[in-house]
Amino acid sequence: MSSHDVIVLGAGPAGLALAGGLAARGLGVCLVAPDPNARWLPNYGAWADELAGLDLTPAVSRTWASPLVHADGREHTLPRRYVKLDTPRLQALLHQRASAVSVVAGRAVALEPTRHGQQARLADGRTLAARLVVDATGEGHFVGRRWGGRPAVQAAYGQLVRVDAHPWDHGEMVLMDFRAASGRGASLPGDDEAADPTFLYALPLGRDLVFVEETSLARRPALPPAVLAARLSRRLVRMGIRRREMLEEEHCFIRMGGALPRLDQPTLGFGAAAGVVHPATGYQLARSLQAVAPVADAIAAALAAGTPAGPAGWDALWPRDRQRAWELYQFGLDAVCRMDAAQTGRFFSAFFQLPPEVWTGFLSGTLPPAAVARAMATLFGRVDAQLQLLLVGTGAGLPGTALLRSVVGA
């Protein structure tokens, strides 16, 4: 049986980055994944300021200075730089930083306690032992969660396409376009644009090259991929965009919100498995990469002191203030799931009229709980009576009542 300081399950961005960070602190790290070198498929975007200090410049493919949002008949220009990462270059960069990590191709099917830590039993019968096991698989099958909080799903269907032309000027991109897809084209059963809002996300990469994605922000249950694909086709027809060639296709399902992990368990989660997906946006890449240093430091210090490394990592990942802020975000997620298309447009139009430092911190998840509550209270005061009733209805039950009191009290 092989023994290590830390076993990291999962070879996505979160797992690979943490494995490299732990190895850089002198720990013996083993990375376990069914196919450790499998090509990453998603397109990753992030706010440029969220990537500060991570030295990811070699992996940046494009930046845009002022993303656009279309909501409730208004166009909002956001004064915040947005970045598209080149996925193969990002994968190569993180592999390079994890060059000292031992890599095992396999799938963990069980974790078992040992005298000195844990052991991972693989599907082929092999057993690997370590002082700490980190679940960074995304699904988090080995991470126990608290009771409470209903998860929602962000679903998206995207295409990288060559087109005859597109309507965006040089340097423009669309973060959210909530205008109806409508247009000519097939409408599938269950495709109700008025009841289930979606938006266009568009990254122009040249005069005849663009990545377009139809996104359902958060729903219970998730909108089917076929509905999103049909809406995207209708939207492009309405906009006069003719696709000449589809180069890539992307299906995306992101679990948002739900119960936070238990912070006293010996197995540490990381990335999506640890619940760090932003309940209001679905983003988690920048948050996970920024968490590598403090979490790796906490693990290294705990192992050096002979104290439990799992709880130490959890404390670094989920300090009390961040837990409280995430509970408030869960309230916002529940509200968004109840909104129809018209309400969603009015809600986001009001949201992006908040001071830039407020919506920036809200979207990044960097505001302290009191500031999150004040932002939500300010937004509550700016939306119309119908939306206010919806928000009050969202907080009518427990623990929504306590959260609503904290928002209104702000």
Residues 59-98 have pLDDT tens digits of 999 999 999 999 999 999 999 999 999 999 999 999 999 9
Strands (E), 258-353: 268-269
State the DSSP code for 261. Answer: B
The CB density around residue 167, as the number of other CB atoms within 10 Å, is: 11
Percent of the chain with pLDDT over 90: 84
3-state secondary structure of 5: strand
- The pairing of strands 127-135 and 117-122 is antiparallel
DSSP H helical ranges for 39-172: 87-97
Measured CA to CA in angstroms, residue 305 lies from 308, 334, 357 at distances of 9, 42, 40
**Percentage of the residues of the chain whose pLDDT score is greater than 70:** 94
Global pTM value: 0.93
More confident residue, 209 or 182: 209
Handedness of CA 271, 277, 278, 283 (dihedral sign): positive
DSSP lists the bridge partners of residue 120 as: 111, 128
What are the angstrom distances between the C-alpha of 30 and each of 280, 317, 336, 402? 33, 21, 40, 43
Residues 6+ positions from 306 with CB-CB distance below 8 Å: none
pLDDT at 295 over 70: yes
The C-alpha atoms of residue 276 and residue 196 are separated, in whole angstroms, by 25
pLDDT at 187 over 70: no
**Mean pLDDT, rounded, for 134-140:** 94
Question: Taking the mean position of all CA atoms in its chain, how far away is CA 198?
Answer: 17
Please name the helix (run of DSSP H) or strand (run of DSSP E) that holds residue 326, with its range, or none. helix 320-337
N residues, the chain: 410
Contact predicate 145/262, CB 8 Å = yes
Burial class of residue 105 (count of CB atoms within 10 Å of its CB; 0-12, 13-18, 19+): middle
What is the rounded distance in angstroms from the CA atom of residue 390 to the CA atom of residue 179? Answer: 22
Tell me if 102 sits within 8 A of 58, measured CB to CB. no
Is 188 a residue whose pLDDT tops 90?
A: no
- Map tokens 């006069």 to a residue: 240
d(CA 38, CA 391): 43
Cα separation values, 147 from 77, 142, 144, 377, Å = 40, 16, 10, 27
Give mean pLDDT, residues 141-158.
Answer: 89
What is the Cα Rg of the chain in Å? Answer: 22
pLDDT at 56 over 70: yes
Write down the pLDDT at residue 399: 47
Determine the pLDDT at residue 407: 47
Are 138 and 10 within 8 A, CB to CB? Answer: yes
Beta bridge partners of 213: 158, 201
Partners of 249 in beta bridges: 159
Report helix, strand or coil for 76.
strand
Residue 284 pLDDT greater than 80, yes or no: yes
pLDDT of residue 403: 53
Answer yes or no: are the C-beta atoms of 328 and 373 closer than 8 Å: yes
Task: With a cut of 50, say whether residue 260 has pLDDT above it.
Answer: yes
- 403 vs 219, higher pLDDT: 219
Query: Does residue 402 surpass a pLDDT of 90?
Result: no
What per-residue confidence (pLDDT) applies to 181? 86
Residue 389 confidence (pLDDT) above 50 = yes
Average pLDDT score, the chain:
92
pLDDT confidence of 143, banded at 50, 70, 90? very high
Domains and their CATH numbers in the chain: 2-55+88-147+261-318 (3.50.50.60), 151-256 (no CATH), 322-409 (no CATH)
Higher-pLDDT residue of 76 and 147 is 76
Please state, in angstroms and rounded to a whole number, the distance separating the CA atoms of residues 103 and 334. 40
pLDDT tens profile 312-346: 999 999 999 999 999 889 888 999 999 999 999 99
Identify which has the larger pLDDT, 267 or 280.
267
Q: Are 250 and 118 in contact (CB under 8 A)?
A: no
Question: What is residue 174's three-state secondary structure?
Answer: strand
Asked whether the predicted pLDDT for residue 233 surpasses 80, the reply is yes
pLDDT value for 398: 42
Q: For the ranges 44-48, 212-216, 280-284, 340-344, which has the lowest average pLDDT?
A: 280-284
Q: Is the pLDDT of residue 148 over 90?
A: no
* Mean pLDDT, range 247-261, rounded to an integer: 92
